[in-house]
Amino acid sequence: MSSQTGGKGVLLKLFWSMLYISTFTFGGGFVIITFMKRKFVDELHWLEESEMLDMTALAQSSPGAIAVNAAILVGWRVHGLSGMAVAVVATILPPMAILTAISFCYAAFAANPYVAFTLRGMQAGVAAVILDVVCSLGTGVLKERSAVHLAVMVCAFVAAWVFDVGVVYIILGAACVGVVMALARRQGGHKA
């Protein structure tokens, strides 16, 4: 569902969409991915939900900020190299501007109890948005009715929640399962 045709109009819409999402999103990569899904899957229909799920997994498992990694993947999918560049610039501009402004008056912000209370309140909102991501993307996995995907999802939850396994190990384990499944599909395709 790529929007490779459309040139400057698509790039401009991509830029403003990513700039808006990045400007008004607090709470990290998972929150921004929720808004990216709503914009690019639900509203603009530039991506399929399964593509967004795959991009989320890739963005999380790649080094760097999840938001920037997701912007790279979405931009590339929407409009190639130029889409990737536009999406990344639009994603990093708001945090850079905010951090620059805060750095000039850090002492006043750090000692301000209202800022501290505001940030604590935002944590509750972030938790709700992350829960929304889990429910939305998890529902997509459940709809596929794939025993392997369901098993990976349940095992990842149990490993993190019950056994306190680090996220890195869970991601590596899930990646290994994905590689094995891809190789099995490839082998099955060559025999047919």
Q: Which two tokens stand for residue 101?
A: 């402004």
**Burial of residue 31 (number of CB atoms within 10 Å: 0-12, 13-18, 19+):** buried
**Res 3: pLDDT:** 47
What pLDDT is stored for residue 190 in this prediction?
60
pLDDT at residue number 99: 85
When pLDDT is cut at 50, 70 and 90, the band that residue 6 belongs to is: low
Using alpha carbons only, give the angle 32, 34, 40 rounded to the nearest 5 degrees. Answer: 95
**Model pLDDT for residues 18-58, shown as the tens digit of each residue:** 999 999 887 777 788 888 989 999 999 999 988 988 888 88
Q: Residue 160: what pLDDT?
A: 92
pLDDT average, residue stretch 88-102: 90
For residue 191, what pLDDT is reported?
56
Indicate if the pLDDT at residue 5 is higher than 60: no
If one counts every other C-beta atom within 10 angstroms of the C-beta of residue 25, the result is 21
Residue 20 has a pLDDT of 94
- State pLDDT tens for residues 110-167: 778 888 788 788 888 888 887 887 888 778 778 888 888 889 989 998 999 999 999 8
- Can you give the pLDDT at residue 141? 76
